[in-house]
Amino acid sequence: MSASRLVLLLCSFAAFAHAELALDVPAIEVKPKPEDEEVETTFTFRNKGDKPVKILGLESACSCLSAELDKAEYQPGETGTGRASFKVSTFVGRHEKHIMVSTDDPKQAEWQVDFILDVPAVVDIKPKQLQWFIGDEPTQKSCLVQFTGDEPTKIIKITPTRENVEFDWKEVKEGREYLITVKPKSTQDVTMGALKIETSSSIAKYRYQLAFFSISRKPEPQPASAAVTKP
- pLDDT, tens digit (0-9, with 9 covering 90-100), for 108-167: 999 999 999 998 889 999 999 999 999 999 999 999 999 998 889 999 999 999 999 999
110 lies in a domain? yes
Closest residue by Cα to residue 143 from 118, 165, 119 = 165
pLDDT exceeds cutoff 80 at 224: no
Same domain, 61 and 108: yes
Quote the pLDDT of residue 17: 60
pLDDT exceeds cutoff 70 at 16: no
Residue ending a domain, choose from 87, 119, 151: 119
Provide the domain count of the chain: 2
- Write 79-82 long-range contacts (CB < 8 A, 24+): 79/44, 79/45, 79/46, 80/21, 80/44, 80/45, 80/46, 80/47, 81/42, 81/43, 81/44, 82/42, 82/43, 82/44, 82/45, 82/113
Q: Say if residues 152 and 175 touch (Cβ distance below 8 Å).
A: yes
pTM, two decimals, is 0.68
Residue range(s) defining the domain that contains residue 156:
123-216
Tell me what the pLDDT averaged over the chain comes to.
Answer: 88
- Per residue in 160-203, pLDDT tens? 999 999 999 999 999 999 999 999 999 999 999 999 999 999 98
Same domain, 90 and 144: no
13 lies in a domain? no
Residue ending a domain, choose from 119, 148, 167: 119
Q: Say if residues 82 and 112 touch (Cβ distance below 8 Å).
A: no
pLDDT band for position 230 (cuts 50, 70, 90): low
| pLDDT, average across residues 30-43 | 92
pLDDT exceeds cutoff 60 at 226: no
Report the percent of the chain where pLDDT is more than 90.
Answer: 72
CB environment 101-129: b (16+ within 10 A), e (fewer): bebebeebeebebebebebeebbebeeee
6 lies in a domain? no
Quote the pLDDT of residue 1: 53
CATH number of the CATH domain containing 49: 2.60.40.10
Task: Give the Cα separation of 75 and 54 in Å (integer).
Answer: 9
Quote the pLDDT of residue 121: 84
Quote the pLDDT of residue 9: 39
